[in-house]
Structures are given as structure tokens and as C-alpha cells.
Amino acid sequence: MEIKDIIPHIESLVFASDKPLSSSEITELVNIALGFMEDKIALDLVESAMEEIAEKYNSDLYPFEVRLSGGGWQFLTKKEYHKTVAQLNGERFLKRLSAASLETLAIIAYKQPITKGEIEAIRGVNSDYTVQKLLEKELVIISGRNEKMPGQPLIYSTSKNFMDYFGINSADELPKIREVLAEQMIEPTIIQHTEFEENENTEETREENNDPESEEENPMFSVAETGEFMLKKESAGEEES
């Protein structure tokens, strides 16, 4: 079977699915639907078909696109139409995570698998409520227990919904910590060399004008060998005139 024959079947599967579908899942579903028992379509054929489908909907003719997100293929509205779609979904669509939830979620994402005690040690506050909320939103999951720690506490990891929520396919696609910190670094102030010289000369001029020692370079009085103060000749001549 050629690619053009299976593309409509693949599109219908991705469109109807309520969760992201991986290429392997699509391959299995298409083979079951078309009843290919002997001559099954291969994964490579499905992946080639997905590339063609993604290119097709990347056109400006469509307000939506097909892309990998959350570990699988999805039909997604293009970002240019975000505000339009938000009118239909209301507050539920625009709902944001709180600062505490984002902070806890970031810790889990970068430190997973991690226990609640370790989360609280990093945050410095009790995290029962925020962890519970993240579980309710299905952004994190309980992935097991840490058998090496006393009491074998539960350990938490991010879920597929987390990847879908943030538009990534795996935790490896998260921005690196050093990249985030690099963006927040304060850039040094750059001073042009000519400006620096002008400012330096201005300061020197001000210091010379205000420096009391500069007035003593040509004092009106001098001290004789006997220790007496003597008026300079120039000053004496000016007074006599």
C-alpha cells in the first residue's frame, strides 16, 4: 500500500484521539483497522506519512497543525489563533499554575525521581498542598518508592500530560539550568573610551579648582630662617602701589 492510501486513515486517527499518538501506536492501529495480516505496513512508512501530513498542515491555509507534542502526534491550533480559541473555552483554557505549583513542578522536572521530603528541603516550606494539586492536574505521577531511604517514601516524576502541557516530548527537551541562568545574568555597563577620558579630565579639573593645596603653591607669605613670617615681594609691591 502506498503512502497516499494510508494518509487519510492516519489523519482520522490523530484527529479523533483524545491523547497524543506515537508513530508505533498509529502503525498498530492502522494495521488492525485495515486487517493487514500478512503484508503489514511498516513503521518507516507511517513516519514518512506523518512527515507529509505535518508539511501539509504547516501551510497558511490551515489554522491548525500536526506536530509532535507530549510524546506523540496531535492536531493543535496554531499559536496565532490562541486568543480566538480562548473565547470558546473561557477561564478553563486560560487557567495558569500558581507560582508555588510552578516552583514545585520545576523541582520535580529537574530532580526526578524525587521524594516529597527532598522537594521540601529545596523549597524550605511544606509542599503537601502543591504536590497534591499537581497530582490532581495529572502533571506529576507517583512513580514508585525510594527503597534506600528510611520508610521507603513515595517518589514523584513528571507525566505525559506534563510534556503535553509544555509542548515537549521528553524531559531531555527542558532548557538546561545553565542556559536559564545565562539569560538572567546582568550585563556589565560598557563605557566608551572617549567618554571615560572626558569624565576623568572633568574630575581632575574640578579637583584642581577645589583643592586647597593648589592655592598654597604660590603662598602670599614665606618663613624666614629666624622663623618669622615674611610677606612676599610681589604681594608687598602690590600693596605699596
CATH number of the domain where residue 34 is located: 1.10.10.10
> Does residue 239 lie within any of the structural domains?
no
What does the pLDDT look like over 90-127, one tens digit per residue? 555 556 788 899 999 999 999 999 999 999 999 999 99
Shared domain check, 105 and 74: no
Position 140 confidence tier, pLDDT thresholds 50, 70, 90: very high
Strands 221-223 and 154-158, bridge-based pairing: unpaired
Q: Specify if 158 maps to a domain.
A: yes
Q: What is the mean pLDDT of residues 223-236?
A: 54
52 occurs within a structural domain: yes
The DSSP bridge partners found for residue 231 are 221
Between 187 and 35, the more confident residue is 35
Residue 117 and residue 168 in one domain: yes
Q: Are residues 104 and 58 in the same domain?
A: no
For residue 12, what are the CA distances in angstroms to 109, 169, 221, 234, 235?
Answer: 33, 22, 106, 108, 107
Q: Are 106 and 62 in a shared domain?
A: no
Domain boundary among 184, 212, 227: 184
Inside any domain, residue 205: no
Q: 88, 123, 145 — which closes off a domain?
A: 88
Give the C-alpha separation, 50 to 9, whole Å: 11
Domain of residue 75 covers 3-88
Same domain, residue pair 84 and 7: yes
Mean of per-residue pLDDT scores for the chain = 78
Residues of the chain with pLDDT > 70: what percent? 69
Rounded to 5 degrees, φ, ψ at 13 are -65, -45
Same domain, 69 and 118: no
Are 61 and 103 part of one and the same domain? no
pTM exceeds 0.85 = no
Q: Give the per-residue pLDDT at 34.
A: 83
DSSP 71: T
My answer on whether 104 and 136 are in the same domain is yes
Task: Please tell me the total count of domains within the chain.
Answer: 2
Cell matching residue 87: 473565547
Q: To 5 degrees, how large is the angle CA 189–CA 195–CA 197?
A: 115
Per the CB < 8 A criterion, the answer to whether 155 and 145 are in contact is yes
Cα gap 142→154, rounded to integer Å: 7
Question: Is residue 208 included in any domain, yes or no?
Answer: no
* Residue pLDDT, tens place only, 202-226: 555 555 555 544 444 455 555 565 5
Residue 231 within any structural domain of the chain: no
* Digit-coded pLDDT (tens) for 3-54: 888 999 999 999 999 889 999 999 999 998 888 656 788 999 999 999 999 9
Q: What is the model's pLDDT at position 82?
A: 82
Residue 191: inside a domain, yes or no?
A: no
Are residues 17 and 69 part of one domain?
A: yes
Of the three residues 26, 55, 88, the one that is the final residue of a domain is: 88
Is residue 48 a part of any domain in this protein? yes
**Whether 30 and 106 share a structural domain:** no
